[in-house]
């Protein structure tokens, strides 16, 4: 795929780590969405973090550049990418899910309140997945792993 730049947005740094790894491994320039002045016709791979099922920054990126592919970074062990694409109105684009991490000390304001609510809901559940999620929300976790980028690099190389 002829992508000429990587554009990302990140709240606590995990998406930034993946974007940096990809830029190095694919030899592409890296831009933060908030500071990026690429021209409208630039083909980009966009990376955004997941917040309540929404890929942050995607709407702006689609309005500003030619988004050719998307990576969504979240904390769920896996994601239903068909549903994710439908919910984010990007069904026609390749969408990759990457497991990021959770850094409680870096979460502020309304995001902190949202996660406190999420933790309260999950704490009432007894299944293993919910318990693991509560543990990650409480203590934090870092699952960033360059190996997760293999399918994205394959796609970039096509
Ligand atoms: C308010 C809030 C909502 C979140 N919603 C989701 C979600 O819907 N699905 C998911 O997998 N992860 C969700 N997460 C977890 C983040 O996507 C995850 O921590 C990600 O690695 C953050 O990336 P960043 O460090 O680039 O900001 C949420 C985190 C916060 C703070």
DSSP SS3 for 66: strand
CA pair distance 151, 20, nearest whole angstrom: 16
Which amino acid residue places its CA nearest to atom 3 of ligand 1? 51
Spatial contact of 4 and 42, defined as CB atoms under 8 Å apart? yes
Q: How far is the CA of 3 from the centre of ligand 1 (A)?
A: 26
pLDDT number for residue 83: 98
Which amino acid residue places its CA nearest to atom 22 of ligand 1? 49
115 lines ligand 1 (CB under 6 A): yes
| DSSP string for 4-15 | -EEEE--SSSHH
Place of tokens 């830029």: 23
CA pair distance 113, 21, nearest whole angstrom: 31
Tell me the pTM. Answer: 0.97
**Exposure on the CB side of residue 68, measured as CA atoms within 13 A:** 16
Spatial contact of 107 and 115, defined as CB atoms under 8 Å apart? yes
107 lines ligand 1 (CB under 6 A): yes
Which amino acid residue places its CA nearest to atom 4 of ligand 1? 51
pLDDT number for residue 137: 96
pLDDT number for residue 1: 61
Per residue of the chain (158 residues), give pLDDT as tens. 689 999 999 999 999 999 999 999 999 999 999 999 999 999 999 999 999 999 999 999 999 999 999 999 999 999 999 999 999 999 999 999 999 999 999 999 999 999 999 999 999 999 999 999 999 999 999 999 999 999 999 999 98
| DSSP string for 92-150 | TS-EEEEE-EE-GGG--HHHHHHHHHHHHHHHT--SHHHHHHHHHHHH-EE---GGGGH
Which amino acid residue places its CA nearest to atom 31 of ligand 1? 111
Percentages helix, strand, coil for the chain, rounded to the nearest 5?
45, 25, 30
């Amino acid at each position: 795929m002829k992508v000429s730049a990587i554009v990302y947005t990140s709240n606590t740094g995990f998406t930034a780590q993946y974007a940096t790894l990809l830029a190095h491994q694919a030899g592409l320039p890296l831009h933060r969405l908030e500071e990026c002045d690429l021209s409208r016709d630039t083909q980009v791979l966009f990376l955004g973090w997941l917040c309540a099922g929404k890929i942050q920054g995607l709407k702006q990126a689609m309005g500003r550049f030619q988004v050719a592919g998307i990576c969504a970074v979240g904390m769920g062990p896996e994601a239903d990418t068909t549903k994710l694409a439908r919910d984010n109105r990007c069904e026609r684009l390749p969408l990759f899910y990457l497991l990021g991490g959770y850094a409680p000390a870096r979460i502020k304001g309304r995001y902190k309140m949202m996660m406190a609510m999420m933790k309260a809901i999950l704490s009432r559940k007894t299944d293993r997945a919910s318990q693991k999620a509560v543990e990650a929300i409480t203590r934090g976790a870092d699952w960033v792993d360059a190996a997760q980028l293999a399918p994205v690099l394959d796609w970039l190389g096509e």
